[in-house]
Amino acid sequence: MTNLKAGPEPATTPQSAPPVDGRGLGLTQTTALIVGSIIGVGVFSLPYSLASYGPISLVAMGLATVGALALALLFAALSKRMPADGGPYAYARAAFGNAVGFGNAWTYWITAWAGNAAIAVGWVYYVENFVNPGGAKAWSILIALVGLWIPAAVNLTGLRNVGSFQLVTTITKFVPLLLMATVGLFFVQSANFTPWNVSGDSSWSAIGGAMAICLFSYLGVEAAAVAAAKVRDPARNVPRATVYGTAGSAVVYLLSMVAVFGILPASVLAQDENKASYAVAANSIVGGSWAGDLVAVAVVVSGVGALNGWTMICAEMPRAAADDGLFPTIFARLSPRGVPTFGVVASTALASVAAVISFAGASGSTVFTTLVLMSGITAAVPYAFSALAQIVWRVRERGTLRTALFVRDVVVAVVALVFSLAFIYYSRNSGGSWYVVWGPFLMTGGALALGVPVFLAQRKHMTPIVPSTNAPSTTEGTS
């Protein structure tokens, strides 16, 4: 365990391998990785998911945005302090030791592949605007699998193709959100914001439940920190890309969500045939179906782009842990193109199984929502430990820091911690029997239990945590 007494900042010496396949991702491509990982298909189906709460969901989205921005600032600061690949895993390990580091790596890996399954299922909603409109289950499963394995194939070809693919798909996905966030606002009708809360619960309960769903749309703020080994000049580019990408996503998220809820009443958004919420809103603006078709095309591209970025993250987190001896060495083996092939294939295979279960379940929508909430819980755990690491380090350094810097970093970390814990608390399914309500926690517990034998097998292989010799000056800013 790391010594927590007063003294030098505890951190592992960054073990990021030099970027391969070219010079690595620059600032533009790294920002695209952040935006592309955050903006998948979740936001495009979010109004449908939130319709049961009503327009009060916009308050939840605002609070989720505050939390996401706090997380972005947190990871920007931590990645400048410690520009090692692995992101949240690396911070938790440096601050609290190998056991906590393994737990964070394992939970985040679950987030990555389970989140990919959820993205793929949501992606199918928009693909079926053109193919399999009847929703035949076998075809839906096949479409989801194609959506998962195309990005895996791109990742296997090397970093250069991953970066270029991410940049193109990010630009494509940003356009419909930007149009809805600008043009769509002119078609808002104030009457559609009433009734404000249709959930039947108190306002606080409705906001909390909606916020848990909203967080899923912000997963990815840490993507650049996780993939620091693939980034050129990570100490400079990772913090900037994290803040730029999260802030840009937040602006279009908030404005476009206001537009959709203002264009269509919650009762319409809640209908099953309106799962593709942004496409329905676009059709409502112009009439006919051509605008919705264009939005659907953009969302299809968006989903593939998000899966492309997250597939890389699926492999990078266990690779970083394997380099430290916390995961089996097979995760660290690189192909001639510098790709951790086993991580890409294993993660995509697990996501495929989860997607098939989501479609094949008797209550498919419940299984899907449970998958989304489980992904959020397993992300919130590493988020919380990252915030705790920053608090521990800053409290220890209190005597060497300017007061303004200390207050700023601790406040940001506390907000991020509270937000992470609140998300875990509210990640319960609504209605149904107890095992449905607590399903996300039961699935998370089961997934964590699978990591116990892996941890026991790897304990003797875990490398010691070496204090960093290149910590940044504690008198300088971190963002």
pLDDT at 208: 81
For 222-241, the pLDDT digits (tens) are 888 877 777 888 888 888 88
How many CB atoms neighbour CB 3 within 10 A? 10
Rounded to the nearest 10°, the torsion over CA 313, 315, 320, 323 is -170
Q: What is the largest CA-CA distance in the chain?
A: 67
What does the alpha-carbon distance between residue 274 and residue 355 come to, in Å, rounded to a whole number?
21
What does the alpha-carbon distance between residue 251 and residue 65 come to, in Å, rounded to a whole number?
9
Question: In CATH, what is the architecture of 27-461?
Answer: Up-down Bundle (1.20)
What does the alpha-carbon distance between residue 429 and residue 448 come to, in Å, rounded to a whole number?
20
- Per-residue tens of pLDDT for the chain, all 479 residues: 333 333 333 344 344 444 444 457 788 888 888 887 787 776 777 888 788 888 999 999 999 898 889 998 998 888 888 876 678 888 999 999 999 999 999 998 998 898 888 888 878 877 887 888 877 888 888 999 999 999 999 889 887 777 777 777 777 777 777 888 888 888 898 888 988 888 888 888 888 878 877 877 788 888 888 777 778 888 888 888 888 988 888 888 888 889 999 988 888 888 767 677 888 888 888 876 777 788 778 888 878 888 888 898 888 888 989 999 999 999 999 988 888 999 999 999 999 988 888 777 645 556 667 777 888 888 899 999 999 999 999 998 888 878 888 899 999 999 999 988 988 887 877 666 777 778 888 888 888 898 999 999 998 888 887 654 334 434 444 44
Its sign, for the CA torsion 153, 154, 156, 157, is positive
Instruction: Write down the pTM of the prediction.
Output: 0.81
Q: What are 169's two structure tokens?
A: 């798909």
Report domain extents, the chain: 27-461
For 54-75, the pLDDT digits (tens) are 899 999 999 989 888 999 899 8
Residues forming beta bridges with residue 25, ordered by sequence position: 231
Long-range contacts of the stretch 183-186 (C-beta < 8 A, 24+):
183/285, 184/256, 184/259, 184/260, 184/263, 184/281, 184/285, 185/255, 185/258, 185/259, 185/262
What does the alpha-carbon distance between residue 82 and residue 94 come to, in Å, rounded to a whole number?
9
For 256-315, the pLDDT digits (tens) are 889 999 988 888 888 767 677 888 888 888 876 777 788 778 888 878 888 888 898 888
What does the alpha-carbon distance between residue 235 and residue 82 come to, in Å, rounded to a whole number?
8
Length of the chain, in residues = 479
pLDDT at 478: 40
